[in-house]
């Protein structure tokens, strides 16, 4: 069993195609702040983060990295780094307060200004419509387990596409619907904090339905040359051993982590084994006639978010769990090797495995690595600099894995580092730093880390430097 990508010792730099897209990614709630300005209403993350005990240190995204007021400064940093693309998300409650009705023009004006600023610096905007900030009023009406939320998302998509469809050429419907469904509604460690496994399965389907409805809206409203995509945090699932029990545990997790999204989007069905595994929780009657024709509307690219592999063995897992019906059949272990500040193993082999799996399963679908990065315990030294050699090593090994997958025939079109800025890291608050730009949250001062300068060199030359 391969657990790591081999370290490549090269006599010449690993070169990427001239058209390869080099970017960085962020999410609205994690960086924008301005939580109560210009008509924005509460999202589920505002409510969750203000609930005692839900987020480390009681942190909230009320101010975050103050990107709402420092957007031009941040775009100038992107230009300094030479990024070709910037992946950001739109705050649903900023654009459509309460999740219903007309758009708030002040909210749309912020994103118009952001897109214009990116174009002025020759940076391609990559817009994500949903990165987990469901308007709280829609959650109060039942949230993603309710079918109506998918239609509300389609209406919201029409508002954003109507405002920005003439100037944005890359659109992503959802970011990591697995997290929204299973961390939010099954394990409860993400907003809205519910622990209802059957509701999580309904949420997963309605997120798939929302994606398909949004694809239809985008095809009608955005420029015909626009790229429409979806971003999934697919798991590189490995059985601990080759025993039948471990392989069956891995099968169960693969169904809930990967195939529950890949199958309805690309094949127009939910797998028989997934339905059987979860049969004691639901009869899947929430999947209505015609739904799977909507979920499987063609898209132009698939985004892949990857951080660490998933190692599975037979056994039991404590509940609550993000894996409906699986805790009695699967337990999770960590791959060997060094770890990040998240205690996640550093294992670029998992990214290679995912990209080559998709090469085989979806040979006609271009792939983009839309998130990849690592948190470390970064700090500014007495000279005001931030040295992060571990992050540089992480990025190098994963870019080597991308290059190796491309050499093996995977159609990978770009790479987006997570994240541009240190930010509000969900339930971890401000205790984990993923950015290549250090943010002093007391002063909002930005400082380029060594990894930012290293990445800028990779972007400028389109290749990895020699070791």
- Tokens 């002025």 — which residue? 120
Grouping H, G, I as helix, E, B as strand and the rest as coil, residue 200 is helix
Grouping H, G, I as helix, E, B as strand and the rest as coil, residue 360 is helix
Secondary structure E strands in 14-146: 14-15, 21-25, 85-89, 124-130
Q: In sequence order, what are the beta bridge partners of 14?
A: 464
Please state, in angstroms and as integers, the Cα–Cα distance from residue 326 to each residue in 134, 231, 384, following that order.
27, 24, 48
439, containing H or E segment: strand 437-440
304, containing H or E segment: strand 301-305
Separation of first and last alpha carbons in the chain: 27
Grouping H, G, I as helix, E, B as strand and the rest as coil, residue 429 is coil
Q: How many residues does the chain have?
A: 467
**Known active-site residue 371:** yes
463, containing H or E segment: strand 463-464
Residue of 32, 117, 139, 176 marked catalytic: 176
Residue of 32, 146, 353, 371 marked catalytic: 371
Please state, in angstroms and as integers, the Cα–Cα distance from residue 339 to each residue in 91, 105, 390, following that order.
32, 44, 10
396, containing H or E segment: helix 389-407
447, containing H or E segment: strand 445-448
Secondary structure E strands in 156-279: 170-175, 227-232, 237-239
Per residue, what are the HEC states of 362-375?
CCCCCEEEEECCCC
Backbone angles phi, psi at 349, to 5 degrees: -60, -30
CA–CA–CA angle 128, 129, 130 (5° rounding): 100
Strands 445-448 and 437-440: antiparallel
Judge whether 298 and 365 are in contact, CB under 8 Å.
Answer: no
- Tokens 């654009």 — which residue? 95
Grouping H, G, I as helix, E, B as strand and the rest as coil, residue 248 is helix
Dist. CA 73–CA 159, nearest whole Å:
27
Dist. CA 100–CA 96, nearest whole Å:
6
Dist. CA 192–CA 301, nearest whole Å:
29
Catalytic residue set: 176, 371
């Amino acid at each position: 069993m391969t657990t790591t990508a081999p370290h490549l010792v090269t006599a010449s730099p690993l070169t990427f195609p001239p058209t390869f897209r080099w970017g960085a990614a962020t999410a609205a709630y994690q960086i924008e702040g301005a939580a109560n300005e210009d008509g924005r209403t509460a999202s589920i993350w505002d409510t969750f983060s203000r609930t005692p005990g839900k987020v480390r240190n009681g942190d909230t995204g009320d101010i975050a990295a103050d990107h709402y007021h420092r957007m031009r400064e941040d775009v100038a940093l992107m230009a300094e780094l030479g990024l070709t693309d910037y992946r950001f998300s739109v705050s649903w409650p900023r654009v459509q307060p309460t999740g219903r009705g007309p758009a708030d023009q002040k909210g749309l004006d912020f994103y118009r200004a952001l897109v214009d600023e990116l174009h002025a610096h020759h940076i391609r905007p990559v817009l994500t419509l949903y990165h987990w900030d469901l308007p709280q009023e829609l959650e109060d009406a039942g949230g993603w387990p309710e079918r109506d939320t998918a239609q509300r998302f389609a209406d919201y998509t029409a508002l954003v596409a109507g405002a920005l469809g003439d100037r944005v050429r890359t659109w992503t419907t959802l970011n990591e619907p697995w997290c929204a469904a299973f961390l939010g509604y099954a394990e409860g460690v993400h907003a809205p904090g519910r622990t209802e496994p059957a509701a999580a399965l309904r949420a997963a389907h309605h997120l798939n339905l929302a994606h398909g409805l949004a694809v239809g809206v985008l095809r009608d409203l955005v420029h015909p040359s626009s790229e429409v995509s979806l971003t999934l945090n697919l798991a590189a699932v490995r059985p601990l051993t080759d025993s039948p029990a471990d392989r069956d545990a891995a099968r169960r997790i693969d169904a809930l982590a990967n195939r529950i999204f890949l199958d309805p989007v690309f094949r127009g069905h939910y797998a028989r084994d997934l339905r059987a595994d979860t049969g004691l929780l639901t009869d899947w009657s929430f999947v209505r006639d015609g739904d799977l024709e909507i979920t499987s509307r063609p898209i132009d690219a698939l985004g892949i978010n990857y951080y660490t592999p998933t190692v599975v063995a037979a056994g039991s897992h404590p509940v609550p769990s993000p894996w409906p019906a699986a805790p009695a059949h699967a337990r999770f272990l960590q791959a060997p090797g060094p770890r990040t500040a998240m205690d996640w193993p550093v294992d670029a082999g998992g990214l290679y495995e995912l990209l080559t799996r998709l090469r085989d399963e979806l040979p006609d679908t271009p792939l983009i690595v839309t998130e990849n990065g690592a948190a470390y315990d970064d700090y500014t030294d007495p000279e005001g600099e931030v040295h992060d050699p571990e992050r540089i090593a992480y990025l190098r090994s994963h870019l080597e894995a991308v290059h190796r997958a491309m050499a093996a025939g995977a159609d990978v079109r770009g790479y987006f580092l997570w994240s541009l800025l240190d930010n509000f890291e969900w339930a971890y608050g401000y205790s984990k730093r993923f950015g290549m730009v250090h943010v002093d949250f007391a002063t909002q001062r930005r400082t380029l880390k060594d990894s930012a300068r290293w990445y800028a060199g990779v972007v400028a030359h389109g290749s990895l430097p020699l070791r």
